[in-house]
Amino acid sequence: MTVSVEPAARPRREDMKAVGQFAFELPATWRADMRVPVRVYADDALLAPMLEGDAMTQLVNVATLPGVVECVYGMPDMHEGYGFPVGGVAATRMPDGIVSPGGVGFDINCGVRLMALPLTRTELGGRLEAFVHQLSRSIPSGMGRGSEWRLTDAELDAVLTGGSAHLVRAFGLGVEGDVVNTESNGRLDGADSSKVSQRAKDRGRGQLGSIGAGNHFVEVQAVERIEDARAAQAFGLRQDQVTVLIHTGSRGLGHQVCTDYVKLMDGRTEAYGIKLPDRQLSCAPVSSPEGRDYMAAMACAANFAWSNRQRIGHVVRTVAARELGIPGADVHTIYDVAHNIAKVETYDGQLLCVHRKGATRAFGPGNSEVPEAYRAEGQPVFIPGSMGTGSWVLVGDARSAKQSWSSACHGAGRTLSRHAAKRQVTGSQLRRELEGQGIVVRCPSSAGLAEEAPIAYKDVDRVALVVEGAVLARRVVRLRPLGVIKG
C-alpha cells in the first residue's frame, strides 16, 4: 500500500503572493512536505474557484513529489483532476525524479489539430450544413464508438511505434506536411508496444479515427479576428477563413495504459520510500523498471493519439473534396499539439521529465522543435473554447521557458461538473440556442451535449488574455464556431 502523509488545509487567497500582474505564488514553506513553490497564472476571477475547490490543494501535493524542480505551475484553466490538477505542469530531474501517470492523465496525448481550408465563410455559403453533416457521418463519435478499421496485431504495433508518420507513409492517410506540422513529428521515441497490455490494445484496436465522448469534438470554424497579422500570415490564416479543429486523444487504449500503470506503481511506491499525500499521485523514479516501462507504454499511447487525429484529418480532406470540391492537398494542417503528456526536455543543461496535464508546449521563436516555416514566430498554441463561444490560436513566447517549462494552457477549463451542467441546461435547449446563433450541431446524445454547455466553462477570452499577460504565449487569431460535432 502507498505510504501517505496527512494533507494540510486548503490554501487561502491571503496565502498567495502576487508575483506579477497574472501570477500568484505559494511558498514552499507553506506546508512542511513541499519541495518547491507553487505558482498559478490567473487573475482574481480565475483564481477564486481554484481555491474554493481542490485544484490548488492538488497542485500543492504535486510540489511534494521526489525530484520536482524549481516550481510547479497551474495554468489559468486549472481545475480538479485525478491526482494532478488539469492544467498542472511539473518537471522532475532525470534520471531519479519520478514520473506519475496521474501527471499525464487517462487520455494520454489528448490534443488538438487545426486544419485550414482554402475558402472563406462567405465562399462556403449554404454548403455549411451539408459539410458538417457529412463530417458527422464519416467520423465515429460517442462512448465506445469506433471505426470500421480494426487493426491487426501487426498493424497496431506499427502504429504504436511509428505514430502518424506511419499512417501517411504506409497507408497514404495524409501528406508529409501533416507530419512536419505535428509536435514531435507525430512520434515519441522509446515506444515499446510490448509494454502495452493486451487489454489496452484490444480497447484501441477498432478506435483509430474516432472522437469518443466527453469534451472531444470536431468543430468547423472561421477566423473572426486577427490580433497578430505577421504570425497569422506565417500560420497561413486570413480573415474569415474556414478551419476545422479536431480535439481527441488515445481513446480506450490510453485510458487502459494509465489504469494499468497507476495500479502497478501504487503497489511499488513504498518500496522506493516515497511518501504521498494522495494515492492518486502514484509514481516511480523515471530510471526504475516501472518508470521506464510506463514511459515506453505512454509513448505508444501518444503515437496512437497522433495517428487518431491523423486519420480524422484525412477524413476531413476526403469530405471537403466530396462536398466542397476542394483538392485534399489544399487543406492545410496548421499544427497538431499534445496536452496530456510527459516529455524529456533540457532546460539550462538539466535533463527533465516535464509533465503537462491539460497543458501544451509553448516554444518560442528559434526553438529547433518548432517547424521551420513557423520558427521565426514560434510554435502555434491552441486554446479551444466551448460550443457557441470561440477558440484562440496563439504563438509561444520564448520567456515561457523560465515561466512555465515552455507551457501554456489547453482550453477554457471547467467551472461546473458534468452533472451540474446537466442540472442547469438540457441538451435540447442548448441545441436550440446554438442553432439560433447559426451554429450547426451534430450530437447523438442530448445528455452529452448538455454536459459540455458553455456555462460549464470559464471565459475563453479571459483565459487567453491571462496567457498573453503572463508572457506564456501571444494571441494571434480568434476563431468562431460554425458547426459542432460531438459524441
Q: Kindly list the catalytic residues.
A: 410
Burial class (CB in 10 A: 0-12, 13-18, 19+), 122: exposed
| Residue 424: φ, ψ to 5° | -100, -20
Closest CA to 306 of 214, 215, 179, 155: 179
Closest CA to 36 of 27, 44, 45: 27
Cα 412 to Cα 245: distance, rounded to the nearest angstrom? 15
* 3-state secondary structure (DSSP) of residue 291: helix
Cα 283 to Cα 71: distance, rounded to the nearest angstrom? 18
Amino acid at 421: A
114 to 242, 334, 454: CA distances (angstroms): 11, 6, 21
474 to 377, 383, 461: CA distances (angstroms): 10, 11, 13
| Residue 227: φ, ψ to 5° | -100, -30
**430-463 burial, b if ≥16 CB within 10 A, otherwise e?**
bbebbeeeebbbbbeeeebbbbbbbebbbbbbeb
**160-196 burial, b if ≥16 CB within 10 A, otherwise e?**
bbbbbbbbbeebebbbeebbebbbbbbbbeebbbebb
Output DSSP code: residue 414: B
